[in-house]
A and B are shown apart, each in its own frame.
Chain A
Amino acid sequence: MTGFSLFIGRLKMNWKFQWRIFRMIADWTVMIYIIIPAAVIFFVIYRSWWLEAPEWADALPLSLFFILGYIWSWMGNVRFFSEDGDRLFLIRKKQLMHSVYRWGFVYSAMFHACLAGLFLLLLLPFLLVHFQLSGQASAGIFLFWLAMKYLLLYLKFHLRRITRKIRRFFAGFLVFCTTAAVSILFYVLWANDELAFLYGFSAAIIVFSVGLYTRLLDKTFLFEHFRAIDREQKLRAVGFIYQFSLQTEKISVIKRTRPWLFPRSGAIFRKRTPVNGFKELFLKLFLRNKLYLSSYMRMLFFTAAAIIIVPPLWAKILIFVVFIFMAAGWFESVWDKTFLKHPVAGKYCKGNDYFIARRQMINRMVLFSAASMLMLGGGGWLLLDLFIPF
């Protein structure tokens, strides 16, 4: 067995795993009614950008491509394709293990380059048609993205290894400021048409970052770090896809040791009753679970945006009503997931108190959501109507 064959096997398994996760939410109905129509509509819109840039493109500053690229550089990580079992077996065959990591790094570097290429392809209509930039100038932006991505992949690896939180925070802040300054330098070079210098600078950063990272891959004592990054990446992809599903079990990893909210385990309800006990558990769990909170916020803000944007009043009302039913269903699903199959609370879910708490909590959460929606959607619509009448 060679390192490459082992890497290919694990890569295939990884893609199969990601595909299965994707298929869990995207069954044939979602494919036919959402994904395929969305892809067709996007293609039509994208084609229209090549013919004539949309009006809103006038408001875009050129520096935005650098700012967005810099933000994107902070995202993502390397996949090493390590497994827990490597701790037992592969660690005895170090050459093989290092070879898998090196191939994983090559794959990740290519993957990020392809992703940057895809972003460039999406933005090309704006760069070439709207801003009338040359191909060389567009290539400069691409190289900047890639250089910053590889540099930050390397720097983030070292930031992760700092165990003390405060030290990590300050080191992270320093890296943020320095790389932001480097990005500004890139922009200045690009804006002054110093493209040869920009290409050279980018190439140097790419070679420097890739070279330093590959030297790390042979260090066996970094195994736990590689494994932790890999596990995080695998779950991140799963978490991202699950964001779109209301029914699928969410995975939320809490890294804190103590809560921000109610740090001394303080009670929400003054009166101690079993009904309040269920409600308190649900509220704390909901407020501290990032995935639940972000799903809820997204549901709230997307619907508010739809209410603001969609012109006819009847459509706004319809969206509001659909939102209320959707929120009620979502809260019911979160509540049931919290209690019904949980070994700690499961045995208490047969009594009256449980059902009273369920009804009261879901009703209140739906009322709160309706009020929030009226404020966000209705308020936003009125403001828009006052300041931009059309």
Chain B
Amino acid sequence: MPVSLLTVDIQWAGYEADKKIIENIHFSLEKGEIIGLLGPNGAGKSTIIKTILGMVEHKEGRIVFTNENDYAYIPEQPVFYDELTLWEHVQFLGTVENLPEEEYRTRAERLLEDFRLKKAAHRFLGSFSKGMQQKAMLIFALLIKPSVYIIDEPFVGLDPSAMKLFLSSLDKVKGEGAGILMSTHVLDTAEKVCDRFLLIHEGRLAAAGTLGEIRRLSRLPDGSLFDCFHALTEESSYDRF
């Protein structure tokens, strides 16, 4: 029986009391599963993520993490403390997460080595390039080994080797039983790595399921995720007329 790490039941949510941005979003994230949150620009993907993180003021519904606070969020735009070095961020996370010193040091050094940021460990993150900052965000998430990863547009700004490393890291944490919710526009990669997909269109769940189910819904038995995505979003756009 699948074990839910995160259950999302959003009736509606928005930034103003009388303006609904997303409606009827219901899904759960299981252990060892990667869900791809897909949708065109302005569909409401980021609002769904923000609602899950409790950053949207007006909402009706329920968000349940099986283990409270046991998640890592990787935003699309890297956020960090301008006044701290990369290593000081790592130290802070290791300390407040109560990780044993030896364990977090070994893990952090390995991650810095893998993502080729070891030489920049004592530099301010503000002096990094966008790609390096994005790598640092991934390191912070992978360091604390949470049971749920919420990732917003993870492939933006990563060079090919960092992308490969990131995907293999995802595979590894998935194998260890973590659940991953990933919002992305890169459909080719999403098709390869995600187990299920949530297609968001105009703030609603237009389709949900595995690639096979999405193909059935879009009536494209051999279609790629890219083709299915277009078929479904265009169909829902036509439905309005």
Interface residues of A (CB under 8 A from B): 252, 254, 256-259, 262-265, 267, 272-274, 276-278, 280-281, 284-285, 288-289, 342-345, 347-348, 350, 353
Contacts and interface: CB of A to CB of B under 8 A. Distances in A.
Contact of B83 (A258, A278, A284): A284
A124 to B, nearest CB: 44
A353 B92 CA distance: 13
Given A277-B96, A344-B89, A285 B127 contact: no
A285 B83 contact: yes
Nearest to B80: A344
Contact of B96 (A252, A278, A284): A278
A276 B71 CA distance: 22
Contacts of B95: 272-274, 276-277, 280
A117 to B, nearest CB: 39
B75 interface: yes
Interface of B: 69, 71, 73, 75, 79-85, 87-89, 91-96, 98, 101, 121-124, 126-127, 140
Contacts of B93: 344
A252 B82 contact: yes
B122 to A, nearest CB: 5
B127 A257 contact: yes
B79 A265 contact: no
A284 B101 CA distance: 20
A347 B80 CA distance: 14
Contacts of A278: 96
Contacts of B73: 343, 347
Contacts of A345: 92, 96
Given A258-B122, A278-B96, A342 B101 contact: no
Contacts of B87: 265
A267 B91 contact: yes
B96 A289 contact: no
A281 B92 contact: yes
Contacts of B126: 254
A343 B124 CA distance: 17
Contacts of A342: 79, 81
14 contacts: A254-B124, A258-B124, A259-B124, A263-B122, A265-B85, A265-B88, A272-B94, A277-B92, A281-B84, A285-B83, A343-B75, A344-B92, A345-B92, A348-B69
Contacts of A265: 85, 87-88, 91, 121-122
A267 B82 CA distance: 18
Nearest to B122: A265
B83 A254 contact: yes
B122 A344 contact: no
Contacts of A289: 83
A278 B80 CA distance: 15
A276 B92 CA distance: 9
Contacts of A273: 95
A258 B85 contact: yes
A265 B86 CA distance: 9
A338 B82 CA distance: 11
Nearest to B90: A265
Contacts of B122: 258-259, 263-265
Nearest to B128: A257
A85 to B, nearest CB: 19
A76 to B, nearest CB: 25
Nearest to B126: A254
B85 A350 contact: no
Nearest to B70: A347
A285 B84 contact: yes
A281 B81 contact: yes
B69 A285 contact: no
Contacts of A264: 122
A50 to B, nearest CB: 48
A347 B67 CA distance: 13
B83 A344 contact: no
B205 to A, nearest CB: 26
A285 B81 contact: yes
A344 B140 contact: yes
A284 B98 CA distance: 20
Nearest to B89: A344
Contacts of A267: 91
A257 B123 CA distance: 5
B228 to A, nearest CB: 33
Contact of B88 (A256, A284, A353): A284
Contacts of B84: 281, 284-285
A285 B92 CA distance: 12
A267 B85 CA distance: 12
A259 B85 contact: yes
Given A345-B96, A353-B96, 10 more contacts: A254-B83, A256-B124, A258-B85, A272-B94, A281-B81, A281-B88, A284-B83, A344-B92, A345-B92, A348-B96
A100 B48 CA distance: 43
B215 to A, nearest CB: 37
Tell me which of A256, A263, A281 has the highest count of chain B C-beta atoms within 10 A of its own C-beta.
A281
Contacts of A258: 85, 122-124
A185 B80 CA distance: 51
A77 B79 CA distance: 31
The 3 closest A-B pairs by CB, nearest first: A277-B95, A257-B127, A265-B87
